[in-house]
Amino acid sequence: MKFVIEHLTEKLYDWCLIEYRHISRIVGKKNLIFTNVKNPADIKKLKNLGEVKRESALKLNLKNACLLDPKAKDTLKVNEAKNFDYFIFGGILGDFPEQGRTNKYLTSKLRSVEVRNLTEKQMSTDTAVLVTKIISKGTGLNDIKFIDNPSIVLKKGRLQEEANLPYRYVSENGKPIISKELLMYLKNKKDL
């Protein structure tokens, strides 16, 4: 089973790279393909995380594939997830409110694949990959615990700030599963 991330931002932003690193840790380098990566510097940054292709997933003619889109009519189910060879995700930094860019850039153009959602709630790309992997291993979506719109307390010295993340995350022991690298990135932002 391969996880395909269609890179859809004009550059590889730090936040995006952090999510991509987390995805590589979740599914393993050999199971990850980045597509639509045009910039040679970005290709170099990503090649240690998974296979990198300049071509769009739209041109790869992937067989037995499922595109994950929050706007899809049907929800991914355990019994079908095990049968897909490829899961395709839009590598898009989320907007709030959601603008439906996965649908615009991928779903509307990839007619040869099945399209499923992971609920109507917007997830970070790494969370969507994690949820898909959990479902493919046999746990139904209704059995996965989530935290919506978590607030993360960020401390820097005596300063404390709260970051509100307007997405759905998998919950583990009552806390959202968020990359430690992302938490450090948020903590070290200059505006804290």
Non-local CB neighbours of 39 within 8 Å, separated by 6+ positions: 11, 12
Q: Summarize pLDDT for 14-39 with one digit per residue, the tens.
A: 999 999 999 999 999 999 999 999 99
Q: Summarize pLDDT for 156-179 with one digit per residue, the tens.
A: 777 778 888 989 999 999 999 999
The fold for domain 2-139 equals Alpha/beta knot (3.40.1280)
Burial class (CB in 10 A: 0-12, 13-18, 19+), 125: buried
- The count of other CB atoms within 10 Å of the CB of residue 1 is 15
Please identify which residue in the block is written with the tokens 């479902």: 135
Domain ranges of the chain: 2-139, 147-188
Question: Is the overall model pTM greater than 0.75, yes or no?
Answer: yes
Query: 170 near 125, Cβ under 8 Å?
Result: no
